[in-house]
Structure 1
Amino acid sequence: MNRIFFRFFVLVMLSITGATFVIYFAFSRLFGDPLDDIARRQAAAQIFLLEQYVDKAPSDEWLTRLNNVRVVSNVRYDLVPLAEVRAALASGRRAALDRGEIVLDPANRSFWRRVDLEGERYIGSHEEVLHAQNLPIDIDQALKMEALRYVIVAVALLVPIALWSRSHWQGLQALSRVADEFGSGKLTARAQMKPSDTAYPLAERINHMADRIEDLLEAQKSLLHSVSHELRTPIARLEFGLELLDARAKDPDLSKRVKAMEGDLRELNALVGELLDMSKLDSARNLQAAPTELAPLLRECTQMLPPSPHALDCTVADDLGELELDPRLLARAVCNLLRNAQKYATGRILLSASRTANAVEIVVDDDGPGIPVDERDKVFEPFYRLDRSRDRATGGFGLGLSITRKAVALHGGAVRVDSSPLGGARFVITLPA
């Protein structure tokens, strides 16, 4: 958010600077160099003395009056050849000199002007130029004054812009906080603004959107929860009926089919349980966080797994410390990863954990077939399975990894998939320390 207003401030400053240069060049083009005008005003007394005193003298007294001015003035007046001056001037200034105009040189505090055009002052006067030096011209001071004017204008523009931007910035900051809270699962978060605030119309639309999203999510969760609970009743009835049927069945083939149907019912019952668990992970309100020692929790996860022929190594240090977390949810997330590794590993599974200044990483490695790079994000989607031909062999519904991601996200962490040094897949849970 700060970046937006910083860029806006830089844009305003650049616009003011650009406008300053445009004004200078436009005035130079249309009305002449502003520095010449400033220098002409500063040297106005010397120019007036030359034009009104020296030039008004009769032709035979022009040099006399010029010498009188030299005596009483600090300005140095020299007569130099016209050809020499013309060679030193640019074409535009040379033309002005040829017309008999005063040509200023503010940088050197001097000006040139031809004595006359017809040689009326004295013999050869039309071939000489009067060069006045050490004029009371101070361009630096003039430039400082002009710069001060532009600074005052810039400040006069920036102050109201800053006040106007501040109200927008505060409103957008408030909306940003609401968006962060809403995105983290606090569905009741709303923007509280006055109708007079500049961001109020946007806040109203965001609140309406949040109301709609909250209603939709609540309806979805309620539907999922209700349907899952309603399914439990017919499932229980079917289980009871199959048990009675199996008890009375004398045909071995029928008994085998009943056993298969019972397996399907157990699978359906497990699916309902998974769906109920999914519905409980949609909000941070279900998080029961408490200070928890991480190392014992991870070792306990290895004891909660079903029997497996694969070797499970646990290299968890004792100095992982405590974290503010829900031990039940985190254990569920880690166990899901370990069970997933049991399904696909060929001989070895490794659980490890490490802690840095900012984060804790929990890593589950296996030596299975691994996960293709283009499908590593998809495996966390509900009901997504890499190899559908192995669904019956491996079991599961494609919900375990999705539950893991939601449980970790409720703790402010993330889970990702990499390639394992063991040759299979590596799942990494990152939690803020």
Structure 2
Amino acid sequence: MNRIFFRFFVLVMLSITAATFVIYFAFSRLFGDPLEDIARRQAAAQIFLLEQYIDKAPADQWLTRLNNVRVVSDVRYDLVSLAEASSSMGGSRRSALERGEIVLDPAGRTLFRRVDLLGERYIGSQEEVLRARNLPVDIGQALKREALRYIIVAIALLVPIALWSRSHWQGLQALSRVADEFGSGKLGARARMKPSAAVYPLAERIDHMADRIEVLLEAQKSLLHSVSHELRTPIARLEFALELLDARTRDPELSRRIGAMEGDLRELDSLVNELLDMSKLDSARTLQAAPAPVAQMLHDCTGMLPPASHRLHCLLAEDLGQLEMDRRLLSRAVCNLLRNAQKYAASCVELRARRSATALEIMVDDDGPGIPADERERVFEPFYRLDRSRDRSTGGFGLGLSIARKAIALHGGTVSAHASPLGGARMVITLPLKR
């Protein structure tokens, strides 16, 4: 947010600077150099003496009056050739000098003017130029005055712009905080701005949007939780009825079918449990975190896995240390990733962990078929499964990875899917050491 307003102020300052140069060049083009005009006003007394006292003298007294002015003036007057004077100035000034006009050099504090055009003052006067040096011209002071004018104009523009921007900046900062809180799970976060606020229309729409999202999410959680709880009772009844039926029947074919139905019920019960876990994670706001040794937690996770024919290699660094964690939730997340790897691995699963200066990284690799690059983000969506996993051999409901991501997100970490060096999939958990 600060970057937006910083760029805005830089743009305003650059615009004012550009406008200053445009004004200067425009005035120079239309009305002449402003600095020369300032210098001409500052040298007005010397120009007056030249035009009204020296030039008004009769031809035989012109040099006498010039010498009188030399005696009483601090300005140094001397005569130089027209060629010498012309060589020291540019084309436009040279033309003005040749026409007999007064030419000023503000930087050199010097004035030039031909004695006359026809040689009437004295013999050869048409080829000489009167040069007045050390004029009382102070361009630096004039420039300071002009700069002060532009600074006052710039301040007069920037002060109302700053006040206007400040109100917008504060409003946008408040909206940014609300967005961060809402995104972190605080669904009750609202802007609640006054109607007089600069960004009130935007804040009002964001609050309405947040209200609708909160209502929808709460309804979804309530429905999921209620349905999951309500399903448990008929599932328990069906299990009890099937056990009674299985105990009374002696038909092998019927017993086989009852066993299949019991398997389906167990699968349905597992789905209900995972839905309840999802609901709890969605409603969780804080963790029951405490320091715990990472290596021990990971070894405990490997001990909770069901028996499998795959080899499981634990390649843990020695300096894993401790981490502030909710051990139950984090163990559940790692176990879900390990079970997922067991389902798809051909012969080998690897569990790795390493610690850096800022984060703990846990990796689960398998040598299975892997996950296509365009599916690696979608596998963490609830109920999403790859087409090749929709069979009895792998099972699952597509909730394990979603639960793992939610549990890790509560720890301030991330989980992502990549290609594994073993040829299958690699799941990477990244947990910050300080949340």
Runs of at least 5 residues in structure 1 that lack an aligned partner in the other structure: none
Answer with 224-233 or 399-408: which moved more.
224-233
Structure 2 residue matching 1:412: 3-state secondary structure: coil
State the distance in 2 between where 1:323 and 1:218 align. 32
Residue 341 of structure 1 is matched in structure 2 by 341
| Cα displacement (A) at 1:87 | 5.2
| Cα displacement (A) at 1:286 | 6.0
Q: Please report the TM-score for the alignment, with normalisation by the length of structure 1.
A: 0.93
Q: Please report the TM-score for the alignment, with normalisation by the length of structure 2.
A: 0.92
Residue 310 of structure 1 is matched in structure 2 by 310
**In the alignment, is the contact (CA less than 8 A) between 2:97 and 2:103 conserved in 1?**
yes
**In the alignment, is the contact (CA less than 8 A) between 2:193 and 2:203 conserved in 1?**
yes
State the distance in 1 between where 2:373 and 2:200 align. 45
**In the alignment, is the contact (CA less than 8 A) between 1:280 and 1:286 conserved in 2?**
no
Residue 401 of structure 1 is matched in structure 2 by 401
State the distance in 2 between where 1:238 and 1:123 align. 135
Residue 381 of structure 1 is matched in structure 2 by 381
Residue 100 of structure 1 is matched in structure 2 by 100
Residue 180 of structure 1 is matched in structure 2 by 180
Structure 2 residue matching 1:306: 3-state secondary structure: coil
Residue 272 of structure 2 is matched in structure 1 by 272
Residue 293 of structure 1 is matched in structure 2 by 293
| Cα displacement (A) at 1:56 | 1.4
Structure 2 residue matching 1:352: 3-state secondary structure: strand
| Cα displacement (A) at 1:75 | 2.2
- What's the RMSD between the two structures over aligned residues? 2.2
Sequence identity of aligned pairs in percent? 79
Residue 171 of structure 2 is matched in structure 1 by 171
Structure 1 residue matching 2:100: 3-state secondary structure: coil
Residue 155 of structure 1 is matched in structure 2 by 155
2:397 maps to a residue whose letter is F
State the distance in 2 between where 1:185 and 1:422 align. 37
| Cα displacement (A) at 1:317 | 4.6
| Cα displacement (A) at 1:54 | 0.5
| Cα displacement (A) at 1:157 | 3.0
Residue 64 of structure 2 is matched in structure 1 by 64
Verify: 1:230 aligned to 2:230, yes or no. Answer: yes
2:82 maps to a residue whose letter is L
| Cα displacement (A) at 1:342 | 0.9
| Cα displacement (A) at 1:4 | 0.8
Runs of at least 5 residues in structure 2 that lack an aligned partner in the other structure: none
Structure 2 residue matching 1:101: 3-state secondary structure: coil
Residue 221 of structure 1 is matched in structure 2 by 221
Verify: 1:365 aligned to 2:369, yes or no. Answer: no
| Cα displacement (A) at 1:141 | 2.9
| Cα displacement (A) at 1:390 | 5.1
**In the alignment, is the contact (CA less than 8 A) between 1:184 and 1:284 conserved in 2?**
no
| Cα displacement (A) at 1:263 | 1.4
State the distance in 2 between where 1:367 and 1:66 align. 106
State the distance in 1 between where 2:43 and 2:284 align. 79
CA 1:319–1:385 in structure 2 vs 1: closer, same or farther (change >3 Å)?
same
Report how many residues are paired.
433
Answer with 45-54 or 383-392: which moved more.
383-392
Answer with 252-261 or 57-66: which moved more.
252-261
| Cα displacement (A) at 1:318 | 5.9
| Cα displacement (A) at 1:227 | 1.8
CA 1:272–1:388 in structure 2 vs 1: closer, same or farther (change >3 Å)?
farther
CA 1:389–1:292 in structure 2 vs 1: closer, same or farther (change >3 Å)?
closer
**In the alignment, is the contact (CA less than 8 A) between 1:54 and 1:62 conserved in 2?**
yes
Residue 31 of structure 1 is matched in structure 2 by 31
Answer with 205-214 or 388-397: which moved more.
388-397
